[in-house]
Structure 1
Amino acid sequence: MSAHCSTSAPATDLALLKALAAYRDKEIGRASGKVMARHMWYVSEELVGLSLFDEATVVEEKRAIVSAMQQRLGEKNPPRRADVALDAVEQRSLASFATTNSVGLVTALGAGHDFLNVDPAEWSGRDDYTTARRRARHLRVVNDFAERGVALISAFCGAITRDEEQRQHLLQVVERHRALYPCAK
């Protein structure tokens, strides 16, 4: 669960959700996936464009993302995080989240977006792309906070019980308490 580089955050988030959907214990996978689906910031239509600057994103996927950015009309007020149905996540790709709103990220990087009119296989030699990629890589991502939270809950649950059933019950009790008392400190 490592996405210290902003450009890999969309792929990391989507891969995590797919892994949870395919988890062997369907009940735990479904519950975990439901929680994580509420935190899919980086696959939102505005931020999924970060994956264009990730060297691990294959050229075919970049082509599909650019095509969606040019053809799929985005919402007038897009949600800040993607709405991802866990039962259909296996069929989703990064391109399926991209819309015309995804161009806004590239524009915000301030290096121009003419490279979007060129095949992604040729981007590496373009100044506008390399400048935008450098700027995108320096954006901070918040997955490191989530990682600390996961480490904390793992250590906490491990100190209280080693029984998985009791651990799941404990997590449900904590979640119910948080729902009942959202402002409790």
Structure 2
Amino acid sequence: MAKVIYAVKMTLFADQLKLPARIQRGLRHVALFVSLLYIKHWHEALIPEYAPKNDLELLQALNEYPDKEVGAEGTRALSRHLWYLSEDLIALAFFDDRVEDGKKKRMLENLVRPASKKALKRLAGKGLRVTNTTILSGFVTSRSKRLFELLTDRKEHPQNLLADEALKNRVRALKVVYDSAERAIALIKQFAGAVKDEGQRQYLLRVVKHHRSEVPKRTKAACSAFSL
């Protein structure tokens, strides 16, 4: 995201920079895409129950994006990360207060649909057809009940569990893939070159991750007070 912010700043001050026209066009494409479309979804990426609806709406918005080349490239990129439209995790949308009761009712009705033969961790983006008429309930099957089974001991129909505050809190406490993945990528980029041996590299990453969890505020005072 830091590079994106930098691109937006460069676009805002383009008249003060001597950049080739080709680079200016590229920066403008990035700035417009982020400002008009992506920023809302990025800000809400840490909210687990928002993920299915946001992913679907982002796919639909990309279909309608005025710059078709950018829209197509964005669709290809997002199609590699459709964890939350899978049969298992689509159930997070049951806890999204923005989803109307009528749509949740259709989702509940679709819990009797047969599950797909392959239990995919994420929806296969290849060949996926999303239009403005695609709805969340279309991704729901009997496998979607699994989320409820994993997060609560209550053996009841999901309809009776939607008001369970303890279950809602468990859902809200879930780690979102995007955030965890970005943190892991940032970590490996920073320390990948520190050692050459793969075993030592993995050990180093675990040590760094542990120390970061022990000292979340990496101020001089906090680091000085830390002891093994």
Q: What is the TM-score of this pair, normalised by structure 1? A: 0.67
After superposition, give the CA deviation of every residue in 1:21-58 in whole Å (9 maximum; x if it has no partner).
11001121012101211111101011000010111111
Q: Residue 120 of structure 2 aligns with which residue? A: 79
Matches for 1:28-107 after TM superposition, within 5 Å: 28-69=70-111, 71-84=112-125, 85=127, 87-107=129-149
Please report the RMSD computed on the Cα atoms of aligned residues, expressed in angstroms.
Answer: 2.4
User: Where does the alignment leave 5 or more consecutive residues of structure 2 unmatched?
Assistant: 1-40, 184-228
Q: Which residues of 2 match residues 169-184 of structure 1 at below 5 A? A: none
Cα deviation per residue 1:127-169 (whole Å; 9 max; x = unaligned)? xx22211111110102336778xxxxxxxxxxxxxxxxxxxxx
Structure with more contact order per residue of length (Cα contacts < 8 Å, sep ≥ 6): 1
Query: Structure 1 32/90 Cα, relative in aligned 2: closer, same or farther at 3 Å?
Result: same
Deviates more, 1:84-93 or 1:9-18: 84-93
Distance 1:17 1:25, change over 3 A: same
How far apart are residue 114 of structure 1 and its match? 2.1
Distance of 1:25 and 1:16 partners within structure 2:
15
Aligned residue in 1 for 2:151? 109
Gaps of 5+ in 1: 149-185
CA distance in 2 between counterparts of 1:81 and 1:27 reads: 25
Q: Percent identity?
A: 31
Deviations 1:56-78, CA, capped at 9 Å, x for gaps: 11111111111111x21112332
**Equivalence for 1:25:** 67
Matches within 5 A, 1:122-161: 123-124=162-163, 129-144=164-179
